[in-house]
Structure 1
């Protein structure tokens, strides 16, 4: 049995946020479970302020001390470990595709692995209500700001090491690798030759290379009349990029002509293609910048104003007023701080997209955030 407890040093003070899709999924699970978004905002501030101590991770639990003014609180978050039967089904999904274990070792969690595990009845990532926070502070919130800070830093741990998630679900990395090695045979597979023997062995000279074969004349041909060779080269490069995306994510978004034109300009990144696409219609530079920050959703926010519901507008106003942000003029989904030349646009995906005025034109100015206060503070720093 391997040691199923791991300690991770405290994160230093400084701005940081979840980068990977699984780290963001963890944050989303916390936010969806939270009964008070104000505590979540305080928790994010605590996380970047460096007041969370060493984080201890073990099956079903992560814990840390959180320092708040003159008090120190013991904070933990629980996540139900997988049963032995669930672990068996999950390991079968990992073993079914050679790239899965290689991706985990490289610090990646493939979308298709999580989807395959879900199909087998194994929920690897937490969902709504799966994370159970506890804290010794007198607060009654769920989670309190101390637990929210711990959950925020846990997403940073998951960014750096997805094995943290598997340890929370009950198995340490060495156990998982050992079980995968024994999954196809009753006897352990060969562990190879000790490195000391390899380096002690004399160097064996390589055989002489075989003689080069005559290549013969290269084929000569002219492009078929009417075929734009340069455009064909761009299409091939774009097809290769889309094939890679399909392999990584298992799906390709369905886009209209304008969104696909912007996507292609950003993907191929060829000045000749950009110039040709820009000639078809105006606004391509701004659209490319929006796409770079948030893909198709960000491009929709750039192009299309819409009217959020009264409940969404009320939540935004509470967040805005709670953070004592500058006075903003509100028109539909756009909140403009005219004195600062800044603007936030609320997307139909529930995120806030920052904009900055440049020579009388609103330009996308950064990645979106679910917290309008955080999105605006990034612009003002």
Structure 2
């Protein structure tokens, strides 16, 4: 069996590529980018994904663009001609987006987070309720393609694109929604319009009865007033004492945290003299 020509080939290094901000450890900071990578790893892609981490950090991805239904990237590999990468994901129809937008607009906190540029933690539940998972539910939901000769999916060029895509999601979570077919402007415009309608509906509701002063509450509700000394309402039941100190420490604690001074200022002898002075002067 012959060895493919790309095995063991040296990667062509490039200047000016897109480098991952993370230089070590895990990639992804926000809950949504971590969730995206966790979903990919749940497809048993963990070891294959790590193949692209060095590519992502070395700047081998030349460009990356998120479009409705597709992520497009160009990645420099071991051949002179960069490889073309694409990751497809089905877009949602207007009927799904209508359900999602109404659900998000009905919750003040969720709408506020989106208007502030964040994804509310329960946004996945909103999409699931619309029978449209926000993140891919199966590996088959992703159409991964690369022009490299590696038959593994994902290859390291696709994996590098996934890592950088997660960092793009960190910076702009609306790219996740764009991938599913909704632009930031369209979504926020719909939320604002729906929130305006909610506010108008609230304005025409019957006014709630005014809250009565404490002295008349019993007469209006028919409930006997509690036997409470009103003037002591905000006072503690017993005098409060100052809390005891949580811990005590030696006076030279700070000195013990400092590195040894350089020789020109006395070296270790300087620390010994200062420590002795601290212990002798406790007042």
Fold shared, TM-score > 0.5 on shorter chain: yes
Q: Do residues 125 (structure 1) and 139 (structure 2) align?
A: no
Counterpart residue number, 1:324: none
CA 1:230/1:74 → structure 2, altered by over 3 Å: closer, same or farther? same
Counterpart residue number, 1:62: 71
Which of 143, 157, 170 aligns to 1:159? It is 170
Report the aligned-residue RMSD: 3.2
Contact 2:69–2:89 at 8 Å: present in 1 too?
A: yes
More strand by share: 1
Counterpart residue number, 2:264: none
SS in 1 for 2:127: helix
- 1:157 deviates by 0.6
Counterpart residue number, 1:113: 123
Alignment: residue pair count? 196
Q: Which structure has more RCO (C-alpha within 8 Å, separation ≥ 6)?
A: 2
SS in 1 for 2:122: helix
- 1:222 deviates by 6.2
Length-normalised TM-score, structure 1: 0.46
Contact 1:114–1:124 at 8 Å: present in 2 too?
A: yes
Q: Do residues 224 (structure 1) and 231 (structure 2) align?
A: no
- 1:99 deviates by 2.2
Where does 1:191-206 land on structure 2 (aligned, <5 Å)?
none
Q: Which structure has the greater CA radius of gyration? A: 2
For 1:116 and 1:230, the matched residues in 2 are separated by: 46
Gaps of 5+ in 1: 1-8, 190-216, 232-270, 277-381
- 1:144 deviates by 0.9
CA 1:139/1:153 → structure 2, altered by over 3 Å: closer, same or farther? same
Counterpart residue number, 1:359: none
Length-normalised TM-score, structure 2: 0.60
CA 1:128/1:223 → structure 2, altered by over 3 Å: closer, same or farther? same
Which of 153, 170, 181 aligns to 1:142? It is 153
CA 1:223/1:172 → structure 2, altered by over 3 Å: closer, same or farther? same
Contact 1:66–1:146 at 8 Å: present in 2 too?
A: yes
Contact 2:20–2:164 at 8 Å: present in 1 too?
A: no
For 2:178 and 2:146, the matched residues in 1 are separated by: 22
CA 1:133/1:218 → structure 2, altered by over 3 Å: closer, same or farther? same
Which of 173, 181, 206 aligns to 1:170? It is 181
- 1:108 deviates by 1.7
Deviations 1:329-370 (A, max 9, x none): xxxxxxxxxxxxxxxxxxxxxxxxxxxxxxxxxxxxxxxxxx
Contact 2:144–2:154 at 8 Å: present in 1 too?
A: yes
- 1:34 deviates by 4.5
Deviations 1:223-273 (A, max 9, x none): 527x88759xxxxxxxxxxxxxxxxxxxxxxxxxxxxxxxxxxxxxxx83x
CA 1:113/1:222 → structure 2, altered by over 3 Å: closer, same or farther? closer
Q: Do residues 88 (structure 1) and 95 (structure 2) align?
A: no
For 1:185 and 1:220, the matched residues in 2 are separated by: 39
Q: Which runs of at least 4 in structure 1 moved beyond 3 Å after TM superposition?
A: 181-186, 217-223, 227-231
- 1:92 deviates by 1.1
SS in 2 for 1:103: helix
CA 1:222/1:19 → structure 2, altered by over 3 Å: closer, same or farther? closer
